Chains A and B, each alone.
Chain A
Amino acid sequence: SQELEQSPQSLIVQEGKNLTINCTSSKTLYGLYWYKQKYGEGLIFLMMLQKGGEEKSHEKITAKLDEKKQQSSLHITASQPSHAGIYLCGADASNYQLIWGAGTKLIIKP
Chain B
Amino acid sequence: DAGITQSPRYKITETGRQVTLMCHQTWSHSYMFWYRQDLGHGLRLIYYSAAADITDKGEVPDGYVVSRSKTENFPLTLESATRSQTSVYFCASSAWDSGYNEQFFGPGTRLTVL
Chain A residues with CB under 8 Å of chain B are 30-31, 33, 35, 40-45, 48, 50, 88, 90, 92, 95-98, 100-103
Contacts and interface: CB of A to CB of B under 8 A. Distances in A.
A40 B90 CA distance: 11
Contacts, number: 55
A33 B105 CA distance: 13
Nearest to A45: B102
A41 B33 CA distance: 17
B105 A42 contact: yes
Interface of B: 31, 33, 40-45, 48, 50, 56, 58, 90, 92, 94, 96, 99-108
A96 B95 CA distance: 10
B42 A33 contact: no
B37 to A, nearest CB: 9
